[in-house]
Amino acid sequence: MLNSKLFTALLNVFRKKRSGTGWSQAQEVPAGGNGGSHADRSPTPAPLPVATPAAAADSTQLPPDVPPMDPGRKLVHAYADVRIGDPLRRGGLTVFPLFMPPTATVKYILSDEAIRQGVLSVEEISQAGSVPELLVINRGAEKVLFIEGEELVGAKQNRILNTSVLVGADTQLKIPVSCVERGRWQYKSKQFGSAGTHSPSKLRHALKESVAHSIGSGAGYCSDQGRIWEEVDKQHIALGVASHTRAQSDSFAAHRERIRQVLEELPFPDGASGMAIGIGSRLVAIDVFDQSETLRRVWNRLLTGFVLETLDQDDDSGEVPHSSVEGLFAMLRGSLWKSVQAVGEGEDFRTQIGNSFGSILAVDGVLVHGSVLVKA
């Protein structure tokens, strides 16, 4: 939980919504290659900029070389203008719908829809395959959005997206992924399909943190594959799941009915374009999109991972207060952001607040997907 004095200072920043917010000027960082072993990490990666209490509490402390409204600051103001709705609660899960003021949007379709329509395919990069990369072939006339943490099943082993990616129309692109099926490396199908599920917050945090370190060291969007496998194994143990191939998808399959029942009690709030998630008494994640329609289409899928994490918790494990969400948004406004070359179209912005990691995928100054993962 936040220190009470720091929290008060941060909350004041959130309420004032002043134009000067303590951002550093966005700096270009090379995205690097997508290849290499996920388990290999630089011993001394260059860290993402970290918000300090002083910078967050005093929004007037801007470095002299920061322009009045650089692109990173404009994007994060989308976070600042959010309206936090009344929470939906089910057992140990709290879902705060987030409502954004009307803004420009980007035209795209979602990856699962594109795969279903037959205009997009996801395959191994070669017959031999490579764990940290997949090949996306978009034959359609529209951009396609993949969301960080979504699971793809099939081919030689199941994978999850290391970051959100916007694939251009009529484009082939290699995308960075992590394995969530440790015990299989043989073809089940030529192409991948959508699992219809999303990674839990603990796995997403491990993913986002290791990708942040990789970006900081100039190695691109690689993850720490060993940590990802550890999280999947912990998930199986906590939920009593036996998986021959140690696949994350088996956790969802084993508890499909329980997950369905919880989702029925968490209907999509009309007009929402984001969600803040609490598990027990801790705030664990935020996801925000450029348009409400996107969130409506991914609502159940995004929630599956969070629901899975609550299945082994008591219903009286605590609740996340509204003020915790306000506090995190205040910290985002006082944080420092780096501009990074995106994998596909657009630009990627990254920040670190203590053990929390945030990112924004933007196109022409429009936030497409923003997310923050908080260490549980």
pLDDT digits 0-9 by tens, 309-359:
999 876 666 789 999 999 998 888 878 888 999 999 999 999 999 999 999
pLDDT reported for residue 256: 96
**Higher-scoring residue by pLDDT: 329, 271:** 271
pLDDT reported for residue 74: 64
Q: What are the pLDDT digits (tens) for 216-234?
A: 999 999 999 999 999 999 9
Mean pLDDT taken over the chain: 83
Proportion of the chain above pLDDT 90, given as a percent? 69
pLDDT category of residue 52 using cuts at 50, 70 and 90: very low
pLDDT reported for residue 372: 96
Average pLDDT (177-199) is: 97
Average pLDDT (368-375) is: 94
HEC string of the chain equals: CCCHHHHHHHHHHHHHCCCCCCCCCCCEECCCCCCCCCCCCCCCCCCCCECCHHHHHCCCCCCCCCCCCCHHHHHHHHHHCCEECCCEEECCEEEEEEECCCCCCCCCEEHHHHHHHCCEEEEECCCCCCCCEEEEEECCCCCEEECCCEEEEECCCCEEECCCEEECCCEEEEEEEEECECCCCCCCCCEEEEEEEECCHHHHHHHHHHHHHHHHCCCCCCCCHHHHHHHHHHHHHHHCCCCCCCEHHHHHHHCHHHHHHHHHCCCCCCCCCEEEEEECCEEEEEEEECCHHHHHHHHHHHHHHHHHHHCCCCCCCCCCCHHHHHHHHHHHHCCCCEEEECCCCCEEEEEEECCEEEEEEEECCEEEEEEEECCC
pLDDT reported for residue 334: 79
pLDDT reported for residue 359: 95
pLDDT reported for residue 21: 33
**Higher-scoring residue by pLDDT: 375, 54:** 375
Kindly list the domain boundaries of the chain, sorted by start residue.
4-373
pLDDT category of residue 20 using cuts at 50, 70 and 90: very low
Residue 195, pLDDT > 90, answer yes
pLDDT category of residue 1 using cuts at 50, 70 and 90: very low
Residue 29, pLDDT > 70, answer no
Q: Whole-prediction pTM value? A: 0.82
Residue 301, pLDDT > 80, answer yes
pLDDT reported for residue 80: 62
